[in-house]
Amino acid sequence: MAAGKDPVAVGGDDLSSGLLNAVASARPETSLEDEVIRVAPDDLARLAGAARAAGFEVCSDITAVDYLGIRRTRFEVVVNLLSLSLNRRLRILAAVPEDDPAVPSLVAVYPGAGFLEREVYDMFGIRFEGHPDLTRILMPDDWEGHPLRRDFGVGAVPVQFKEAHQVF
């Protein structure tokens, strides 16, 4: 955010109102002075497309959060968008159920999202429907499980450092 500028509340201007009207499930919020829109998982790509058309040229990040035992809906996909021309950021959140962890891919809207979606798939097991190559990107292909899930065993992989000295 530019110095001296007040944050624009989601829904408080034409751009935000247009994004909220683009998808029926869109709900505005603010978080740490950032614009946030919560959306149903099926509407994620539609809202991202509307944001792209409204001037959010860059998908800077896609990640997920595992709320196992904390919230009713286990996962949340987080998409961070940036408009360089408008000097604004937008965060899109989509709650994703554990029994069917899937959302539409954003690759058709933001081609660079492909690698980010593969990382979320690899680490959390959330599928991005319509992704052109949804395969592991960080873990070996034969790896079982998803390391950033809260129920994944910590320390299950022994690590042998080269020329490590044994400490007694």
Q: From the CB of residue 48, how many other CB atoms can be counted at a distance below 10 Å?
A: 26
In which residue are the tokens 């408008």 written?
86
> pTM for the full model?
0.84
| Distance in angstroms (rounded) separating the CA atoms of residues 104 and 88 | 24
Q: Would you state the pLDDT for residue 18?
A: 87
Intervals of the chain under pLDDT 50: 1-11
- pLDDT tens column, 22-32: 999 999 998 88
Q: Would you state the pLDDT for residue 162?
A: 64
E runs forming strands in 15-129: 27-31, 34-38, 58-66, 75-83, 88-96, 102-104, 127-129
Q: Would you state the pLDDT for residue 5?
A: 37
* CA atoms in the 13 A half-sphere facing the CB of 98: 12
| Distance in angstroms (rounded) separating the CA atoms of residues 30 and 142 | 41
In which residue are the tokens 């058309």 written?
53
Closest of 27, 152, 18 to residue 94, by C-alpha: 27
Can you state the angle between helices 14-22 and 44-53, rounded to 10 degrees?
150
